[in-house]
Amino acid sequence: MTGVGIDAIEIRTGKLKLDLAETFAPAQGEDPGKYTKGLGLHASSFPDVYEDIVTMAANAAHRLMERKGLTPDDIGRIDVATESAFDNSKPVSTYVAGCLEEVYDDDFHHANKGERKFACIAGTQSLDDAFNWIRAGRNRGRAALVIATDTALYARDDPGEATQGAGAVAMLVDEDPDLVTFSTEQGFGSADETDFLKPNQQFPSVDGKRSVNVYLARMREALDDFAAQAGDLHPDDYAMVPFHTPFPGMVRKAAALGYRHIVRDTDVELALAEEIGRQPRPEEFKTREQYFDAMEEYTDELTETERYGDWYADSIEPTLSIAREVGNWYTGSVHVARAAGLKRSLEEGREMAGEQLLVASYGSGAQAEVHSETVQPGWREEIEALNVDEQIDDRYELSFEEYEQIHDVHNHDTETDVEEFTAPDGEFVFDGWGRMGERKYRYVR
């Protein structure tokens, strides 16, 4: 066995698009540059009226199973990670299994199903669960289906509204995978925080500025913890660093912090010192404030260096290309970043087999996790099979009035009857409510 990791991946975006610069910015009375340059986002994906977290998850999983020639008997576990669940008891994975059973002859009655919750990091935690299940030898030769699915909506006029998004990422976790294997080493940074939460409410309560700082603080802890397990980190050891991407501007901050952190006391810090001096050390300052100010100044200069710019262009920028067009997918976001980075490598003819990725996940509340992955020889075929560009291009573009309607359609507290904007074709769709308040689905051929 070469290891355990991701054998296949499928991405499913919501079928509607809101252009942030052309449509959202003028309606909000904001400069488009706030979104495109500041946050680094061009557009958000939204679900059409017949789409939700179940349809996006089931449609991604179905395409994955078809492409890999799988039937339900090959799957021993279905885990769904989401922070958009509509039921506190019945897991989304049961709905997804129900959908898939409509199109396959056999069923998932002997598969273990569950739902993982820890904000956006739950997708990565579900991959962990699958890894542990396989490594424990409890999988009976079967693979795990892990699906991260979310409709990341904020209340209207919340500052987070610009970062919304909707989509699902389905991943098959198996022995001897075609895409990446996971390291055994992991680093965690975890603390009880109230930066972003949904206490029995659909739209989050967010302390936006604080959430950015909490992300950075927990990420630094996770990097330290990972280095303590895996040995000193060096930027040359990792071809790419996919981060959880609530918006690319967040990753711009996290990447600068991460780079500064891992080059400390290395040849890279020495080489940079000729240009911008050595990194400030706390013992050189009378107060913490003075130290933080000096660090901020150093970081600004660091990000202006050619060396940092080249690293960022190779290791970070490629991972952001899909997020820029679809927004935040919460649990799916870091998995979109990994796929985007590999997709760019494929387009540029960069050979990735054998290369290491440093994968940095984050969930509010709050926890960061860092582990490494080794890209496998089958990566090229897997990434070539993605049709995410077509899906992104085919989205229906909403006017601002239509956006307001679709936000209401997906708001659990409003009753809005809106005609669908696109026509379903060969996919699972939401089909109304059952007698116990359950959601119903059907496959449209």
Residue 12 CB partners (closer than 8 Å, separation 6+): 56, 57, 59, 60, 63, 167, 168, 169, 170, 391
Active site residue 234: no
Q: Which is nearer to ligand CAA, 362 or 443 (CB)?
A: 362
The site that binds ligand CAA (CB under 6 A) totals a number of residues, namely 26
Active site residue 244: yes
Q: Which is nearer to ligand CAA, 284 or 300 (CB)?
A: 300
Q: Which is nearer to ligand CAA, 411 or 422 (CB)?
A: 411
* Residue in 10, 42, 62, 244 annotated catalytic: 244
**Minimum distance from CB of 152 to ligand CAA (Å)?**
7
> Could you give the CA distance from residue 334 to residue 248 in angstroms, rounded to a whole number?
11
**Minimum distance from CB of 189 to ligand CAA (Å)?**
13
83: nearest Cα among 363, 437, 403: 363
> Could you give the CA distance from residue 429 to residue 59 in angstroms, rounded to a whole number?
9
Q: Which is nearer to ligand CAA, 147 or 256 (CB)?
A: 256
Confirm or reject binding of residue 123 to ligand CAA (CB under 6 A): no
- What residues from 336 to 365 belong to the interface with ligand CAA (CB under 6 A)? 362, 364
State which of residues 14, 47, 160, 177 lies at the interface with ligand CAA (CB under 6 A).
Answer: 160
DSSP track, 147-215 = EEEEEE---TT-GGGGG-EEEEEEEEEEES-SSEEEEEEEEEEE----SEE-TT-SSPEE-HHHHHHHH
Q: Which is nearer to ligand CAA, 31 or 102 (CB)?
A: 31
Q: What is the DSSP letter of 41?
A: -
Q: Exposure of 411 by Cβ count < 10 A (0-12 exposed, 13-18 middle, 19+ buried)?
A: middle
State which of residues 111, 144, 162, 251 lies at the interface with ligand CAA (CB under 6 A).
Answer: 162
Q: Exposure of 423 by Cβ count < 10 A (0-12 exposed, 13-18 middle, 19+ buried)?
A: exposed
Active site residue 83: yes
**Minimum distance from CB of 249 to ligand CAA (Å)?**
6
* Residue in 83, 325, 355, 373 annotated catalytic: 83
| C-beta of residue 341 within 8 angstroms of C-beta of residue 176 | no
165: nearest Cα among 306, 15, 49: 15
Confirm or reject binding of residue 211 to ligand CAA (CB under 6 A): yes
At 374, is the secondary structure helix, strand, or coil? strand
* Residue in 10, 51, 99, 120 annotated catalytic: 120
Confirm or reject binding of residue 9 to ligand CAA (CB under 6 A): no
- Longest CA–CA span in the chain (Å) reads 71
Q: Which stretch binds ligand CAA (CB under 6 A): 154-162, 263-271, 296-304, 374-382?
A: 154-162
11, HSE (Cβ side, Cα atoms, 13 Å) = 29
What Å distances lie between residue 135 and 6, 118, 252, 322, CA to CA? 14, 23, 35, 32
State which of residues 212, 257, 276, 392 lies at the interface with ligand CAA (CB under 6 A).
Answer: 212
Confirm or reject binding of residue 329 to ligand CAA (CB under 6 A): no
State which of residues 125, 149, 163, 367 lies at the interface with ligand CAA (CB under 6 A).
Answer: 163
Q: Which stretch binds ligand CAA (CB under 6 A): 27-35, 110-118, 347-355, 375-383?
A: 27-35
Q: Which is nearer to ligand CAA, 37 or 138 (CB)?
A: 37
Q: Which is nearer to ligand CAA, 285 or 298 (CB)?
A: 298
Confirm or reject binding of residue 159 to ligand CAA (CB under 6 A): yes
Residue 370's DSSP bridge partners are 187, 360
| C-beta of residue 201 within 8 angstroms of C-beta of residue 218 | no
Residue 102 CB partners (closer than 8 Å, separation 6+): 428, 441, 442, 443
Q: Which stretch binds ligand CAA (CB under 6 A): 18-26, 44-52, 181-189, 245-253?
A: 245-253
By beta carbon distance, the residue nearest ligand CAA is 38
State which of residues 25, 39, 143, 173 lies at the interface with ligand CAA (CB under 6 A).
Answer: 39
Q: Per the structure block, which two tokens stand in for 315?
A: 């290791």
Confirm or reject binding of residue 111 to ligand CAA (CB under 6 A): no
Active site residues: 83, 120, 244
Q: Which residues bind ligand CAA (CB under 6 A)?
A: 31, 33-34, 37-39, 120, 159-160, 162-163, 196, 206, 208-209, 211-212, 215, 244, 246, 249-250, 328, 330, 362, 364
